[in-house]
Amino acid sequence: MTDHHDPVSDAVSAVATADAARERRNFLKRGAAGLAAAAAAATTARAADPIGGDFPEWSTKIGTPLRGYGQPSRFEAPVQRYVQKAFGDLAPGTGGARAPIERLEGVITPNGLHFDRSHNGAPDIDPAKHQLLIHGLVKKPLSFSIADLLRYPMVSRMHFIECSGNSGLNLAPQPPQLPAGVMHGLVSCADWTGIPLALLLDEAGVEPAGKWLLAEGADSAAMSRSIPLGKCYDDAIVALYQNGERLRPEQGYPVRLLLPGWEGNMNVKWLRRLKVTAGPTHTKDETSRYTDPQPDGRARQFTFEMGAKSVILRPSSTMSMQGAGLYEISGIAWSGGGRIARVEISTDSGATWKDAVLQGQAMPKSLVRFRLPWEWNGQATALQSRATDEKGNTQPSRAAFRAEFAPDIRFHNNSIVSWAVNADGSVKNVYL
């Protein structure tokens, strides 16, 4: 693939280089007898000269000094999130920075590349001045400092977070020709560590009338959402750490809510307040925003769980193939319903399907990496992937998803993604 940062093209180049080296070795063997004397002379000559001339510059001088916090290679600088400001410089913190998923491997999203959807920028919170308040229908309203929270027993869990607006771009009338991350990069996965929310709620003592929880952030938007208490007692985490280090500001430093498998907007960042209530508060984001309108004019509200989903990342839209031959199809799958049970891949525009290999152990509500070797014959075709979770939830076709909702549906699009591979090697986004 022509993008020189693209791992597939790098792999292809590496194979070509290895072939050339093997050819050179064979040539040397064939000429070995005649060249024996010359080789002996060369060996003698080398003993007198320093070897540095045969090495690249970085092998002959002191490298970067030891430093407190490591950074990616400067050659990886182009690997950036795709920043989309909904209202430009009018509100520079409003919008999304999408993860460049097509340039990443494995399942863990590096902290600096984890997608960020914020409603008015990331606040610069001094943890010494931040409190988490739990109140409402509780026996004892409690306030926790961050220092207090850091002393609590914790759990560590691998979970994805996906904005329910992810893949909304693929609902446009014409398929956008954009990198996969621009369209599907509002998903990321990390090893989150924090306190089971149930532990804090039990300490406050929830009254029998308490059925919902209002969670609110300390950002300028004071983002707030209502959550049924059942989820709070099931697997909700008050998270303090992300991939081993304290949360990044863009991910809610010093403390955020994590509701595994539920739409990203509910995983309230910069968590400042939890109010136990009898019913939902009907906040702006759970009425005007993250609701799913039907064709009949009514809209589904409180559609929390993210559907089973997958996307092939290599190859994907805007990449190009380097001729016929063996390629590895690689991508990510996830489901808010639990573990991914299988990912099927079609390399013939949906006519037949093969099971991809799932890498490692599929954790519940986590990304899983899938792979499948593919011998491309150089002819035009389309690639598709279809994930199914342990409960049997799977992905609808794009057409079926479109038909179920109003024309302006923007959320929860988990329909099958299709990439056309053309005979000229170009890879395009298509609707099948």
Complete DSSP assignment for 167-209: TGGGGSSS-----HHHHH-SEEEEEEEEEEHHHHHHHH-B-TT
CA distances from 124 to 114, 250, 258 (A): 18, 10, 20
User: CA 227 to CA 257: how far, in whole Å?
Assistant: 11
Over the window 47 to 76, marking each residue x when it contacts another protein by CB under 8 A and - when it does not, the resulting string is ------------------------------
Task: Select the span of 65-73, 75-83, 103-111, 135-143 touching another protein (CB under 8 A).
Answer: 135-143
User: CA 216 to CA 257: how far, in whole Å?
Assistant: 9
User: CA 133 to CA 216: how far, in whole Å?
Assistant: 10
Task: Select the span of 17-25, 37-45, 64-72, 83-91 touching another protein (CB under 8 A).
Answer: 83-91
Of 331, 315, 334, nearest to 323 by C-alpha is 315
Helix, strand or coil, per DSSP, at residue 271: strand
Residue 279 near another protein by CB under 8 A: yes
Q: What pairs with residue 85 in β-bridges?
A: 95
Placement of tokens 């792999």 in the chain: 11
User: Is 277 or 349 the residue whose CB approaches another protein more closely?
Assistant: 277
* 382 backbone dihedrals φ, ψ, rounded to 5°: -135, 145
**Interacting residue with another protein among 91, 111, 191, 246 (CB under 8 A):** 91
What is the nearest approach in angstroms of another protein to the Cβ of residue 349?
A: 30
**Interacting residue with another protein among 3, 191, 203, 404 (CB under 8 A):** 203
User: Is 386 or 412 the residue whose CB approaches another protein more closely?
Assistant: 412
**Which 355-414 residues touch another protein, going by CB under 8 A?**
361, 363-364, 406-408
- E-only strand ranges, 10-92: 82-85
**Interacting residue with another protein among 95, 168, 293, 350 (CB under 8 A):** 293
Residue 301 near another protein by CB under 8 A: yes
Query: Pairing between strand 95-98 and 116-118?
Result: antiparallel
Over the window 137 to 176, marking each residue x when it contacts another protein by CB under 8 A and - when it does not, the resulting string is ---xxxxxx--x--xxxxx-x-------------------
Q: Give the binding site for another protein (CB under 8 A).
A: 87-88, 90-91, 94, 119-120, 133-135, 140-145, 148, 151-155, 157, 196, 198-200, 202-204, 214, 216, 220-222, 224, 228, 272-273, 275, 277, 279-284, 287-288, 291, 293-304, 339, 361, 363-364, 406-408
